[in-house]
């Protein structure tokens, strides 16, 4: 069984290995031991903090194989982005150049640098090692966050975003960044990606063009990747779209990958989730439905995928002893759960 839990100091080496495996373009996991240690410490502090409203908390979770104790994945939530460092995006919109006298009407796309998402919550740092990409592991590692946020709504914004990795090749080269590099910067994409990951963002404010960029002036290669996702990111984007996320024209300033958003209460798994007390049984009928399940704790949070039997009165739910142990719950404690699959 794979268990989701808060990251610990002892997970440092595992997190570094995951950062190495994640590759270029995965800005939230820089291959830097000191910075990863800081991320772990900040997460531990966030889980231990008494919070009444979203602030600069950052929650980092890991997926642990309960049998081998190996860490096979990571997933995170930032309570409020842009409070400490400016949080930049390009917004893709349109302007019209028209002259009734000359009977000319041209509508063109522009990219405008903005900080529109400052203060919203972000789901981030999702990476599952290749050997664990089977069954419902990927879905659990993503979707449990919606249950956690729904359970602890006072810790998060109503608006939730996710930045999707844009297109870059096997050498870490981004067609979009190549155009920016040629005209405004003198750094390749892997260098910029690394600097952003370690928190050195001042160069963005200093060198990024302040005025809107006409998309038609970009190279054809750069234009083609605006709002497009990396091949390996397509399944994650599809899953978020099924949950109700959509792109409102915001893209990453480095690789032009799309940023998608949703209102927490409108996210399908969050909306469908229920909170009920449990009754622990030795075993559960294997014909029972599978659910993503979390306990209701913060510091001692746990999340799993398991089978449940919801009582006909819908005032309690049956769970087996193995799952209860994995969730650190006792008879009568409450859980929050959502279906692993939605019936169409």
Among candidate residues 159, 148, 73, 128, the one with its CA nearest the CA of residue 335: 148
Give how far Cα 169 sits from Cα of 20, 150, 166, 175, Å.
Answer: 17, 37, 10, 9
> Residues 49-69: pLDDT tens digits?
999 999 999 999 999 998 899
* pLDDT per residue as tens, the chain (344 positions): 999 999 999 999 999 898 888 866 566 777 788 888 999 999 999 999 999 999 999 999 999 998 899 999 999 999 999 888 888 899 999 999 888 888 999 999 999 999 999 999 999 999 999 889 899 999 999 999 999 999 999 999 999 999 998 888 776 678 898 887 777 776 776 676 666 665 666 666 666 777 899 999 999 999 999 999 988 889 889 999 999 999 999 999 888 999 999 999 999 999 999 999 999 988 888 888 999 999 999 999 999 999 999 887 778 999 999 999 999 999 999 999 999 988 75
Q: 158: which DSSP letter?
A: S
d(CA 284, CA 292): 15
The whole-number pLDDT of residue 311 equals: 83
The whole-number pLDDT of residue 27 equals: 65
**Predicted model pTM:** 0.89
The whole-number pLDDT of residue 22 equals: 80
The whole-number pLDDT of residue 293 equals: 97
**CATH code at 2-88+115-268:** 3.40.630.30
The answer to whether 2-88+115-268 and 273-339 have equal CATH topology is no
The whole-number pLDDT of residue 246 equals: 97
Task: Please count the other Cβ atoms lying within 10 Å of the Cβ belonging to residue 151.
Answer: 20
DSSP codes, 164-230 = PP----TTS--HHHHHHHHHT----HHHHHHHHHTT--HHHHHHS--SPEEGGGS-HHHHHHTT---
d(CA 253, CA 169): 17
d(CA 281, CA 215): 61
Give how far Cα 245 sits from Cα of 104, 131, 241, 269, Å.
Answer: 37, 28, 5, 12
Backbone angle region of 135, left / alpha / beta, with phi > 0 → left and psi within -120 to 50 → alpha: left
Beta-ladder partners of 94: 109
Contact 233, 225 (CB under 8 A): no
Contact 304, 323 (CB under 8 A): yes
d(CA 281, CA 36): 40
Residue extents of the structural domains in the chain = 2-88+115-268, 273-339
Give how far Cα 20 sits from Cα of 164, 188, 306, Å.
Answer: 19, 19, 31
Concerning whether 230 is annotated as a catalytic residue, the answer is: yes
Residue with tokens 């409070």: 83
Residues 6+ apart with CB under 8 A from 144: 4, 61, 75, 292, 294, 303
Residue with tokens 């910075």: 35
Among candidate residues 210, 214, 230, 63, the one with its CA nearest the CA of residue 131: 63
Task: Please count the other Cβ atoms lying within 10 Å of the Cβ belonging to residue 299.
Answer: 10
Tokens of 83: 């409070």
d(CA 198, CA 196): 5
Radius of gyration of the chain (CA): 22
91, 171, 230, 341: the active-site residue: 230
**CATH code at 273-339:** 2.40.40.20
Our separate counts of H helices and E strands in the chain read 10, 16
């Amino acid at each position: 069984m794979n268990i989701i839990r808060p990251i610990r100091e002892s997970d440092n080496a595992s997190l570094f290995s995951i950062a190495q495996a994640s590759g270029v373009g995965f800005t939230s996991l820089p291959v830097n031991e000191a910075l990863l240690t800081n991320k772990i410490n900040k997460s531990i502090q966030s889980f231990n903090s008494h919070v009444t409203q979203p602030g600069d908390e950052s929650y980092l979770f890991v997926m642990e194989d309960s049998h081998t104790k190996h860490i096979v994945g990571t997933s995170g939530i930032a309570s409020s982005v842009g409070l400490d460092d400016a949080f930049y995006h390009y917004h893709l919109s349109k302007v019209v150049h028209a002259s009734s006298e000359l009977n000319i009407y041209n509508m063109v796309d522009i990219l405008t640098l903005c900080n529109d998402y400052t203060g919203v919550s972000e789901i981030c740092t999702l990476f599952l090692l290749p050997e664990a990409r089977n069954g419902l592991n990927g879905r659990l590692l993503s979707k449990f966050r919606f249950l956690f946020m729904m359970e602890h709504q006072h810790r998060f914004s109503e608006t939730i975003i996710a930045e999707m990795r844009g297109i870059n090749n096997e050498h870490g080269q981004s067609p979009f960044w190549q155009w920016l590099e040629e005209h405004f910067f003198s750094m390749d994409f892997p260098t910029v990606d690394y600097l952003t990951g370690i928190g050195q963002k001042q160069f963005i404010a200093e060198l990024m063009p302040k005025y809107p960029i006409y998309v038609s002036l970009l190279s054809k290669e750069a234009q083609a990747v605006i709002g497009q996702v990396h091949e390996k990111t397509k399944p994650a984007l599809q899953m978020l779209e099924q949950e109700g996320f959509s792109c409102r024209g915001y893209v990453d300033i480095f690789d032009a990958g799309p940023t998608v958003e949703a209102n927490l209460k409108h996210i399908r798994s969050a909306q469908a989730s229920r909170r009920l007390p449990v009754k622990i049984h030795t075993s559960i009928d294997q014909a029972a439905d599978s659910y993503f399940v979390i306990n209701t704790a913060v510091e001692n949070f746990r999340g799993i995928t398991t089978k449940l039997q919801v009582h006909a009165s819908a005032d309690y739910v049956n769970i087996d002893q193995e799952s209860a142990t994995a969730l650190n719950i006792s008879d009568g404690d409450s859980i929050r759960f959502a279906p692993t699959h939605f019936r169409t």
